[in-house]
Structure 1
Amino acid sequence: MADVATESDRVDELREQLVDKLHELEALRTEAVERAIRAVPRHLFLPEESVEDAYAAQRALVTKRDEHGIALSSVSAARIQAFMLEQAEIRPGMRVLEVGSGGLNAAYLAELAGESGEVTTVDIDPDVTARAERLLGDTGYSRVRVVLADAEEGVAAHAPFDRILITVGTWDIPPAWVEQLSDGGRLVVPLRMRGLTRSVVFQREEGRLVSRGCEVCGFVPMQGAGAHQEQLLLVNGTAEIGLRFDDGLPAEPGLLDNAVRTPRAETWTGVIVGRWESYEMLQLYLATVLPDFCIMAVDPDLDTGLVSPRHKGFAMAAVDKANFAYVTTRRTPDDKSAEFGVHAFGPDGPAFAETVADHVRAWDREQRGGPGPEISVYPAATPDDQLPELSIGRVINKVHCRVVLSWPTAAPAAEN
């Protein structure tokens, strides 16, 4: 009995530490979500993990891998779960659909929707749904409906839904999700746009979806009909330097074959960010204004130092015909901040480096500290003249929808 009491005390202590950390990270914002986090026994949904890992605020825990070790299913970090629950604004009595099962998040949804609400969770993997059903039953949440299906078609039998939460990385938004969302309902989705994933909260308005905010996140990718693979371009004939494109390769990728044989051009922007300052809006801005935006990664086992991004696994990059460039940073002399710079290769490398640097400066001057873009989603058949006029923006065409990023034209007061 003493061991049981000690374990219970330890769980209570870790739960309180988690709640405190989530407040510190500004992931918890309302009493309703805090009550849900406190109520659900998080460790019982992660029986393979230690209680310390189960209550870690920023650690995602993989629950299934394929034969190559690639994660197929995971329990998201508590921070991501908390802010997505906050984005959803679930109230008692609502009908909620979760795409991507695991059990834990569905339990949080059940707490928020209450006894008068309905929660349905759907997944394509029978191992995942079996696990979710078992864990939900064991922890007193058997009222959650677990469905085995490809979520591309939603779950029409239990629609409409007041809230739909997607907990897998999503490249597209299929029509069923919009059609099964009630008027004024909310869709929270980790949407991949030009290689960048953001948890976007959308409100349904007159046949379209309009964003009400977004947060940086990461998820295992969608399986089934909604799966979408990035395309990889190797710029020097080996796997050392790879450029990942989300919406198709450049028109003439072969033009880059000799780019790395040219001298590396370097320019520095004068744009300074604090050491712990987030600049995810710069990522979205460059993805909007640079036509062939991509993500550069360097294989650490093959790295010759030809390129030197600050983070070898992820660097904002772009291509312009026979030139490519990437954004990097360098520490300021006091080591308290960093300055953005651009490195470029190709016959017009110096000019392309300046072009990208000018976009970084424009973000700093006109968008930094502002609200970021409005993200709206229209059916794929929507003609151009029915989309909003864009001063600073981009239309991203997908299979089922057209995603529109529109940035404000008025310059906010910069927060440097």
Structure 2
Amino acid sequence: MSVNTDADPAILRNAMVDRLTTELDTTSGLKLDPQVEAAMRQVERHRYVPDFPLETAYGDTAVITHPSPEGAPLHLSCASVPTVVAAMLHALDVRPGQRILEIGAGTGYNAALLATLTGPDGAVTTVDINDDVTANARRNLDRNSSSNVRVFTRDGAHGAAEHAPYDRIIVTVGASDIPLTWWQQLTDDGRLVLPLRWRATTRALALTKTGGNRWTSSWDFLCGFVPMIGQPNEQTITIDSDGLVKLHYDIDQAVDAQQLGGVLTSERVEYWSDQTVHGEEPLDGVWQRLTSTDSRTVRIEADLRAVSEGLCTPAIPVRSPALVDGKSLAYFAIRRAPDQPGRWQLGAIGHGPLGAQLAAAINDGITAWGAQRAAGVQVQVYPRALGQPPAEAAMLVPRPETVLTVTM
């Protein structure tokens, strides 16, 4: 593909920034940092994805630059969605002259934005495990006068100790754990922004060091990223004979494919709450609530055939929260509100011996979310090498290098 030279990239770039600032304000109340906005109007995204049309470069979509090998489920690298790029840079709170470490080089576009934000007195280092990705990022940065960005090929879990300490660390690949290395390479008053995955959902978090032994979140944002290579990512099973419905779960959760085989053909129980939403209202707060209250929370993914045949009808077919307990399952569901035109009623559908109890638990989460729809999740991350969460911590999510506590 070649770039459409009939379009004016400056017009498209400004339209992209206008669009994302409006979207962030409307959906999350985020007033984008003027410095981030200015950087995104200045750095030419199309020059970091030169093989794609301008309309693609400046659309609010991820641009896949390194597709997955044949048969692999996930792509190796991409240029992230501009809205997510902007939100994470806003949360990172970069200041001129700071030292920045980026994990996940991508196309080099994000590093160029970071270099613009830090200015000539700052320093940006970006690392990636894939040498094709780093070679491409290096070429793009050199072609666009960002040769002052250091690019290394290595496992991002190791960081870049030779240029530490860093005032800010930003991670642009999906992480399921936080290596102690990142703690050690960040200044005591520094900030880490990363997409962290737990209970099969991903949220970008802004974390700061607290009390000398933990990270504490101050901001969160729903997102999705290519997962980091080498970390223990989620497990996946199918629960029907045709392979149309999958469950995704964490390595610490007790989910057994044999126990759940055929569960969807068992008796179906429906529970509907008194909570309703309009068509454009986000529902991810329900999932957040469940991850902070119920350790059985997983993700269910249903093929469109499963939905059309009525085998499994989650609220969002490709990604909805569910609860699993032994031979039983319940999942988050939605239907047109019977007495409120234009609105949708939230509820849960259960199967198996404990299906009704699990569906009721999801409804409890829906009701709690309905009482505080704007509430955000708070995550504290305890590096195991520095200590453990307090005994009274309610919801623990264990990882090899850390333990997470999740509250609302």
* Mean CA deviation greater in 20-29 or 100-109: 20-29
Equivalent in the alignment of 1:38:
41
Q: Distance in 1 between matches of 2:177 and 2:404?
A: 9
Match of 2:10 among 4, 9, 12: 12
Q: Give the match for residue 403 of structure 1.
A: 404
Distance 1:217 1:251, change over 3 A: closer
Corresponding residue number in structure 1 for 2:355: 349
Is 1:316 matched up with 2:321?
yes
In the aligned structure 2, how far is the partner of 1:249 from the partner of 1:31?
43
Is the contact between residue 314 and residue 332 of structure 2 (CA under 8 Å) also seen in structure 1?
yes
Question: What secondary structure is seen at the aligned counterpart in 2 of 1:32?
Answer: helix
Question: Could you list the runs of 5+ residues in structure 1 that have no partner in the other structure?
Answer: 408-416
| Cα distance in 1, alignment partners of residues 160 and 104 from structure 2 | 12
The corresponding residue for 1:410 is none
Whether 1:48 and 2:51 are equivalent positions in the alignment is: yes
Q: How does 1:6-405 map to 2 (within 5 A)?
A: 7=5, 10-26=8-24, 29-56=32-59, 58-68=60-70, 70-101=74-105, 102-205=107-210, 206-223=212-229, 225-226=230-231, 228-250=232-254, 253-300=257-304, 304-333=309-338, 334-365=340-371, 367-370=372-375, 372-381=376-385, 386-387=389-390, 389-390=392-393, 393-405=394-406
CA contact (8 A) 2:396 2:405 kept: yes
Contact persistence 2:255–2:324 (CA under 8 A): no
Aligned to 1:132, the other structure's residue is in SS state helix
For 1:9 and 1:244, the matched residues in 2 are separated by: 42
* Between 353-362 and 136-145, the greater mean CA deviation after superposition: 353-362
Runs of 4+ aligned structure 1 residues displaced above 4 Å come to 6-9, 381-384
TM-score between the two structures when normalised by the length of structure 1: 0.89
Q: Which amino acid counterpart does residue 216 of structure 1 have in structure 2?
A: L
Kindly state the Cα deviation for residue 259 of structure 1 after the two structures are TM-superposed: 2.6
| Worse overlay, 287-296 or 124-133 | 287-296
| 1:28 and 1:34 in contact (8 A); partners too | no
Paired with 2:139 and 2:381, the residues of 1 have a C-alpha distance of 36
Residues 145 and 382 of structure 1: CA distance in aligned 2, closer, same or farther (over 3 Å): closer
Which moved further from structure 2: 232-241 or 208-217?
Answer: 232-241
Deviations 1:148-196 (A, max 9, x none): 1111111000000000000001111000011100011000000001111
How far apart in 1 are the matches of 2:365 and 2:122?
A: 47
Contact 1:259–1:347 (8 Å) recurs in 2: no
- In structure 2, what is the equivalent of residue 413 of structure 1? none
Contact preservation (8 Å) 1:378, 1:402: yes
1:103-162 alpha-carbon deviations (Å, 9 max, x no partner): 100000000000000000101111111111111010010000111111111100000000
Kindly tell me: are residues 21 and 126 of structure 1, through their superposed partners in 2, closer, same or farther at Cα, counting changes over 3 Å? same
Matched residues, percent identical? 34
- Count of equivalent residues: 395
TM (normalized to structure 2)?
Answer: 0.91
| Structure 2: distance between partners of 1:264 and 1:198 | 31
Tell me whether 68-77 or 102-111 shows the greater mean CA deviation.
68-77
Contact 1:252 1:321 in 2 (8 A): yes
Distance 1:139 1:252 in 2: 51
Letter aligned with residue 24 of structure 1: T
| Deviation per residue, 1:184-220 (Å, 9 max, x gap) | 1000000001111001000122232111110011111
Q: Any conservation in 2 of the 1:231–1:249 contact (CA below 8 Å)? A: no
Name the CA shift for 1:292/1:173 in 2 (closer, same or farther; >3 Å). Answer: same
Q: Deviations over 1:249-283 (max 9, x none)?
A: 42655332353332211110111122211222221
AA paired with 2:269?
A
Distance 1:382 1:346, change over 3 A: farther
SS at match of 2:243: coil
Sort the Cα spacing of 1:108 and 1:277 in 2 relative to 1 into closer, same or farther, 3 A. same
Are 2:157 and 2:179, in contact at CA under 8 Å, matched by a contact in 1? yes
Q: Where does structure 2 lack aligned partners over 5 or more consecutive residues?
A: 25-29
Which amino acid in 2 is paired with 1:247? I
Q: Distance in 2 between matches of 1:201 and 1:152?
A: 18
Q: Deviations over 1:54-94 (max 9, x none)?
A: 111x2000000132264110000111111111000000000
The answer to whether the Cα contact below 8 Å between 1:181 and 1:204 also exists between their aligned partners in 2 is no
RMSD: 2.1
CA distance in 2, matches of 1:234, 1:160: 45
Structure 2 CA distance for aligned equivalents of residues 293 and 154 of structure 1: 31
Q: Secondary structure of 1:71's partner?
A: coil
Contact 2:104–2:173 (8 Å) recurs in 1: yes
In 2, Cα distance between the equivalents of 1:135 and 1:293? 41
What amino acid is the match of 1:29? L
